[in-house]
Amino acid sequence: STSVSRRVSAIIGTLTYTVFRYINLGLYKKDKLTFLLLVTLRIMVDAKMLRPSLIRLLLRGGAELDKKTLPPKPLEWLPDGAYMNVVCLSKSIDFFKSFQDSLVEKEPLWKRWYEDNEPEAMPIPEYETKLQSDIGLFYRLLLIRSLREDRTALAVQDFIRNSDTIECYGGLHPCLGPKFVTPVTDTIESIFDSMTSATPALYLLSSGADPTESIETLCKKKKLVITCVSMGEGQDKVALKVLGNAITRGECVLLQNCHLDLPFMEQLNEILDKIQSSLSAMSVGASDEESAGEGQEGDVTSNGTSTAPAPKPTNSSSGSKLALDPKFRLFITTEPTKKFPIALLQRAIKVTNEPPAGLKAGMLHSYSQIVDQEKLDRIESELWRKSMYVICFLHSVVQERRKFGALGWNIPYEFNTGDLYASLCFLEKHLYTSNISWMAVQYMVGEVQYGGRVTDDMDRRLLNTFTESFLLPNMMVPGFSFNPENPVQSIPKEFVYDIPNFTEIELFVSSIGSFPDVDSPEILGLHPNADITSRVQESHSLLNAIIETQPKDGDSSAEGTTREDVVLEKTEELLKKIPKLSSVTQVEELIVKLGGTGIPLNMVLYQEVQQLRKVISLCSKALGSLKQAINGEVIMTQELSECLDAIFLARVPKPWMFSIGGDDISWRNSTIGGWFLGLEERVNQHMTWLSVGRPPCFWLTGFFNPQGFLTAMKQEVTREHSADGWSLDSVHYSTQVTKFEDA
């Protein structure tokens, strides 16, 4: 029984990883961690380790709580959102019932843990020894998500990494584990090996990545002819002719931008069906020939008569068969679109082609897709190998900075593998023809290959700083590294990003594989604080994506309360919370008392109140209609259904924040409680201004148009000093940071 159990576990583990690798090949990087977390949670739910209510708690936290109904926050350093999560944990799970008391009693320990740069790697005060059980891994994730939301994605990786086995079905069986969160890069050779004449490779395009060059390079290595056809209006006839020739000659075809000609994709799928039929006929024919063995001149039957040999199947073009050369291969590139034929999508090998996330994944991608042993051996020189490594590292750095938004680059540039190819090509030719000129290499890489995309002067200066700091004679000196000299925070694992000097590609890959899983922003030339905003956005995207996958039907609790009941109760609660505005006539009278709309700031106030009135009307109407729809008084439209789903998940319905065109019509917030709190605070600011008079200070982000407020302020100041000859263009803002108590 033990051997059987081990064999079953081995089959489960191998099958799980095989399926993961296949699906992972076609996932965008933003979805890969989401997929792994979904699988892990699903396995744990099936094993009766987790209840759906615990997963909802992970996804929503304390978003449903009303801040005004909670006791005063006992710790000043704890953000409001984290405090609401703590209260929710304490009320929802017996394991955390003393969580609030622990925070107060052990405040120094908790504050030290909370302020640590990597709290997910630190022992959790008072709870560390209690988190050793299987469900303890999930509780640790829940706690980190509640207190340090910016570290959620990293905590999820640890959760998946440590969930290698699980107790279920009467034994210990594989779950996921470390290899599932290790960056993997499938080579184009392995993708090609998985293809057949009837199984194309479908590349899903993304900005900053184009597979054309790597596909053409592969075909050149394999000495295969490849023809590229860029799809579009009228190109279907060209594509048919090219396909017809390639199918009979055993050549390769690359159909680019197929989202521009989706009707042809249906026709293409029919062609692949015929190819599959021909392959099946050839396979049957080969099997018949093998079984015939030596009896090809005629078999003798039991009654002594002989039979003629069975005729060999031919690949004629009649019927559903094609004149096929089995060496034929088809590559397809397309942008993601919901209208792509599902039959073709299912038969193809889906491949995402986008810049990988992280320095480790980026370098592994470069040393599997671009740099190979043949490229390493082209020039027998340490300078060639090290320079190539540095350019690949530079490529990963400039791409990785994009995830930091405006902190990384003022303008998001689409640096891609073509820039890396071009830089390596120049370097190779340069070293072939002459001794290295560092200024020439810096100029070609920083100003031409990558710099050709850069339009912002400050971005150009930054890019040139990178090239001048990386591509210089000192890089050949032993001990040279990319680490900052005086880091604000220590580099993870005290890792040294040096330049290895190997002659074997496998040694380079092994060295890159030892990179930390989490990159320090300082390696990218950024302050550690730049990581916070990026991590919070990553965590929001992760949790929101999982929320979108949750079932929309069924009971919402163990007691059998339906989603509609929950939302109806919440809707009635929100309707009572909607603040009241003065009527239009009253507002106009109050504006007149303040001096009229001839005063610029009064005009801003009037416009802000009118816009606020529209938002309140929109919100009130939507909640009223939803209440009627739940009660069966009106039809539940698609928009109301989406509103119901959002409120059930404690999220803000999108029509409350965005217009049909995608423009902002109100303030953004991740929770409906936070959005309503913002509504109340905006109404309080504007109504206080109307009734009491201009306040001594303003909540700038509480305006729909803060730029208009600042402009009106300049107009008023300019008018006050018109006698002194002031003009609007000569008035400038100045900022003075004061203590909060003195403000």
Shared domain for 468 and 598, answered yes or no, is no
pLDDT, the chain, mean? 86
Average pLDDT over residues 266-270: 93
The CA–CA distances, whole Å, from 512 to 86, 358, 484, 500 equal: 40, 12, 19, 9
Shared domain for 139 and 158, answered yes or no, is yes
On whether the CB atoms of residues 465 and 331 are closer than 8 A, the answer is no
The CATH number linked to 428 is: 1.10.8.720
On whether the CB atoms of residues 616 and 581 are closer than 8 A, the answer is yes
Distance (Å, rounded) from C-alpha 17 to C-alpha 668?
A: 39
Q: Determine what percent of the chain falls in helix, strand and coil, rounding each to the nearest 5.
A: 60, 5, 35
Is the per-residue pLDDT at 295 higher than 70? no
398-423: pLDDT as tens digits = 999 988 888 899 998 888 888 888 99
The CATH number linked to 211 is: 3.40.50.300
Please report the pLDDT score of residue 261 as a whole number. 92
Please report the pLDDT score of residue 148 as a whole number. 92
Is position 377 within any domain?
Answer: yes
Tokens 């690359």 correspond to 254
Shared domain for 441 and 515, answered yes or no, is yes
Q: Is the dihedral angle over the CA atoms 589, 591, 593, 598 positive or is it negative?
A: negative
- Which one has a higher pLDDT value, 293 or 206? 206
C-alpha angle 185-328-286 in degrees, rounded to nearest 5: 110
Shared domain for 571 and 716, answered yes or no, is yes
Is the per-residue pLDDT at 302 higher than 70? no
224-241: pLDDT as tens digits = 999 999 998 889 999 999
Is the per-residue pLDDT at 207 higher than 90? no
Is position 309 within any domain?
Answer: no
Shared domain for 242 and 133, answered yes or no, is no
Which pLDDT band holds residue 1 (cuts at 50, 70, 90)? low
Distance (Å, rounded) from C-alpha 233 to C-alpha 446?
A: 38
On whether the CB atoms of residues 535 and 517 are closer than 8 A, the answer is no
**Boundary residue ending a domain (353, 375, 408):** 353
**Boundary residue ending a domain (178, 212, 239):** 178
The DSSP H or E segment spanning 397 is helix 382-400
Shared domain for 522 and 603, answered yes or no, is no
3-state secondary structure of 342: helix
User: Which tokens hold the place of 133?
Assistant: 């059980």
Distance (Å, rounded) from C-alpha 280 to C-alpha 274?
A: 10
Is position 311 within any domain?
Answer: no
Distance (Å, rounded) from C-alpha 220 to C-alpha 215?
A: 9
Please report the pLDDT score of residue 311 as a whole number. 36
Distance (Å, rounded) from C-alpha 340 to C-alpha 347?
A: 13
* Short-list 17, 422, 16, 417, CA closest to 188: 417
On whether the CB atoms of residues 298 and 309 are closer than 8 A, the answer is yes
Is position 695 within any domain?
Answer: yes
How many domains are there within the chain? Answer: 4
Shared domain for 9 and 28, answered yes or no, is yes
The region of weakest confidence among 17-21, 102-106, 545-549 is 545-549
Is position 664 within any domain?
Answer: yes
**Cβ neighbours for 737, distance < 8 A, ≥ 6 positions apart:** none
**Model confidence, pTM:** 0.76
On whether the CB atoms of residues 501 and 486 are closer than 8 A, the answer is no
**One-letter identity of residue 608:** E
Distance (Å, rounded) from C-alpha 322 to C-alpha 328?
A: 12
Upper half-sphere CA count for residue 272 (Cβ side, 13 Å):
23
C-alpha angle 632-638-642 in degrees, rounded to nearest 5: 95
Is position 511 within any domain?
Answer: yes
Shared domain for 159 and 219, answered yes or no, is no
Distance (Å, rounded) from C-alpha 250 to C-alpha 244?
A: 10
Please report the pLDDT score of residue 558 as a whole number. 45
Distance (Å, rounded) from C-alpha 690 to C-alpha 612?
A: 14
Shared domain for 242 and 267, answered yes or no, is yes
CA torsion 476-477-483-485 (nearest 10°) is -140
Average pLDDT over residues 440-453: 90
3-state secondary structure of 173: strand
Is position 24 within any domain?
Answer: yes
**One-letter identity of residue 527:** H
**Boundary residue ending a domain (137, 152, 178):** 178
Please report the pLDDT score of residue 657 as a whole number. 92
Is position 548 within any domain?
Answer: no
Shared domain for 587 and 713, answered yes or no, is yes
Upper half-sphere CA count for residue 164 (Cβ side, 13 Å):
7
User: Which tokens hold the place of 583?
Assistant: 């009527």
Q: Is the dihedral angle over the CA atoms 156, 157, 162, 164 positive or is it negative?
A: positive
User: Which tokens hold the place of 273?
Assistant: 């069906």
Is the per-residue pLDDT at 506 higher than 80? yes
Stated length of the chain: 743
552-606: pLDDT as tens digits = 654 444 445 788 888 999 999 999 989 988 899 999 999 999 999 999 999 999 9
**Cβ neighbours for 505, distance < 8 A, ≥ 6 positions apart:** 367, 371, 372, 373, 376
Q: Is the dihedral angle over the CA atoms 588, 590, 593, 594 positive or is it negative?
A: negative
Distance (Å, rounded) from C-alpha 384 to C-alpha 378?
A: 9
Domain boundaries, position 387: 359-529
On whether the CB atoms of residues 367 and 508 are closer than 8 A, the answer is yes
Upper half-sphere CA count for residue 726 (Cβ side, 13 Å):
14
* Short-list 334, 289, 322, 313, CA closest to 197: 322
Q: Is 193 exposed, middle or buried (0-12, 13-18, 19+ CB in 10 A)?
A: exposed
Distance (Å, rounded) from C-alpha 190 to C-alpha 296?
A: 38
Strand partners, 199: 196
49-61: pLDDT as tens digits = 888 889 989 988 8
Shared domain for 515 and 583, answered yes or no, is no
3-state secondary structure of 590: helix
Shared domain for 656 and 621, answered yes or no, is yes
